[in-house]
A and B are shown apart, each in its own frame.
Chain A
Amino acid sequence: MTKKLLIPLVVFVALVGFLFVGLFRDPREVPSPLIGRPAPEFTLAQLQNPAKTLGPTDLKGQVWLLNVWASWCVSCREEHPLLVELGREKIVPIVGLNYKDEPAAGLKWLAQNGDPYNVSVVDRDGRVGIDWGVYGVPETFVVDKTGAIRYKQIGPITVEALQTKILPLVRELQKS
């Protein structure tokens, strides 16, 4: 008799367990298959200096961040002060990918909100964004010295993500 009562109880507890964990998971965060893989190659014109280009090969040998941003992106404003601060501290080079944006609008936005980027490159039609699996701006990638993507932040960078994930990872990668 007790065994009979126990089975539904176990099933119920397991179900509650699954649902409870599910409460704290964000279905919008799709794990990127690019983690641990070489960063997709690109050669894009620089926002400030369109005659010059930049690509991941130019950055080999150092740890760097790729931050996908746009002047039309609302949540970029949310994370931008953090990026400006990070840029000022010069811990790690930040490359901006100006995603599907008017270069003029992008430049104006940087003038207004501050420019934390060592370089921003222009992805006018979003092709490079697709190669990097970008689906929601802002997104931030951590690329290691060998040119492999090690972390992807989907959505705005938060203080928590910066302190507990991105910066420790960057420091660790810089040591290796």
Chain B
Amino acid sequence: MSARGPLPDTRPTGGDAARVGALVRIVPLLVALALSPIALLAADAVPTEKDPVASARAVALSEKLRCLVCQNQTILESNAELAQDLRKQIREQIAAGKSDKEIVDYMVARYGDFVLYQPPVKSTTLLLWAGPALLVGIGFLVLARTVRLRRARSEEPALSAEERERVARLLGGDAAKDTQ
């Protein structure tokens, strides 16, 4: 400790300045980084249409559908060619007067329920939907049981009155006074 004394004395001030400098230099980069997804979306996904309602519908629909190429992105976010084609399809079908449900059905008929980010409630997806509630339920049951057991154990007097008397008798007069 003492041998390394001089070093920590000089370091903090220089270190702080350097750190602040680095931070200042990084700020524009961070801002650019933070804005980049927005820039991407603005450039590609939002259709430049005259009809703002239709365009909002197209965006809302694309947000609900999964891109099958990059499976963790919606077709709104994805830049895969298929996602672009499907966005085009959505816009065309909106222009043709199709309802949201018809368009979603169109996608499901071709790519299955997998395209839906929110899977429908069916017999095969029941566990998926009910699973979390089921787990919470089981958790509460276990909790209730544990609490009940613990309370029962703590409420149970360590010794009954008779037992205490017996202990007092066995240990002699002093102990009897202590327990009172």
Q: Report the stretch among A86-94, A127-135, A164-172 that lies at the interface.
A: A127-135
What range describes how many residues of B lie at the interface? 10 to 19
Q: Does A36 lie at the interface of the complex (its beta carbon under 8 Å from any beta carbon of B)?
A: no
Contacts of B158 on A, CB cut-off 8 Å? none
Residue A34, interface by CB 8 Å: yes
Q: Is B85's beta carbon under 8 Å from chain A?
A: yes
Within 8 A of A (CB), among B93-147: 108-114
Determine whether the beta carbon of B89 is less than 8 Å from that of A28: no
The verdict on A34 contacting B68 (CB below 8 Å), with A126-B85, A130-B89 known, is: no
Nearest-neighbor residue (CB-CB) of B86 within chain A = A130
Q: When the two chains form their complex, are residues B111 and A100 in contact, meaning their CB atoms are under 8 A apart?
A: no
Contact status of A28 and B110, CB under 8 A, knowing A126-B85, A130-B85, A135-B82 = no
Asked if A135 contacts B68 (CB within 8 A), the reply is yes
Majority SS of interface residues in chain A?
A: loop
The residues of B that contact A135 with a CB separation of less than 8 Å are 68-69, 82, 111
User: Is B68 a contact of A136 with CB atoms below 8 Å?
Assistant: yes
User: With A135-B68, A135-B69, A136-B69 in contact, is A33–B112 under 8 Å at CB?
Assistant: yes
Does A32 belong to the interface (CB within 8 Å)?
Answer: yes
A74 to B112, CA, bound (A): 26
The CA-CA distance from A121 to B118 in the complex, in Å, is 36
Residues 28-40 of A, flagged 1 when their CB comes within 8 A of B and 0 if not, give 1011111000000
Of B71, B108, B112, the residue contacting A31 (CB under 8 A) is B112
Which residue in chain B gives the minimum CB-CB distance to A100?
B81
CA distance A125 to B71 in the complex (A): 22
Number of interface residues of A (CB under 8 A): 16
Provide the residues of chain B in CB contact with A133, threshold 8 Å: 110-112
Contact with A along B68-95 (1 / 0, CB 8 A): 1101000000000110011001000000
Residues of A within 8 A of B110 (CB): 33-34, 130-133
Q: Which residues of the other chain, A, contact B112 by a CB distance below 8 angstroms?
A: 30-33, 133
A100 to B69, alpha carbons, bound, how many Å?
16
User: At the interface, yes or no: A27 with Cβ under 8 Å from chain B?
Assistant: yes
Q: Is the CB of A33 within 8 A of B111?
A: yes
- The interface residues of chain A lying within 8 Å CB-to-CB of B69 are 135-136
Cβ of A51 to closest chain B Cβ, rounded Å: 27
Chain A positions within 8 Å of B, measured between CB atoms, are 27-28, 30-34, 100, 125-126, 130-133, 135-136
> 12 A-B contacts, Cβ less than 8 Å apart?
A27-B71, A28-B71, A30-B111, A31-B112, A33-B108, A33-B111, A33-B112, A100-B81, A126-B82, A133-B110, A135-B69, A136-B68
Chain B residues with a Cβ under 8 A of chain A: 68-69, 71, 81-82, 85-86, 89, 108-114
What are the 3 A-B residue pairs with the smallest beta carbon separation, nearest first?
A: A135-B68, A33-B112, A133-B110
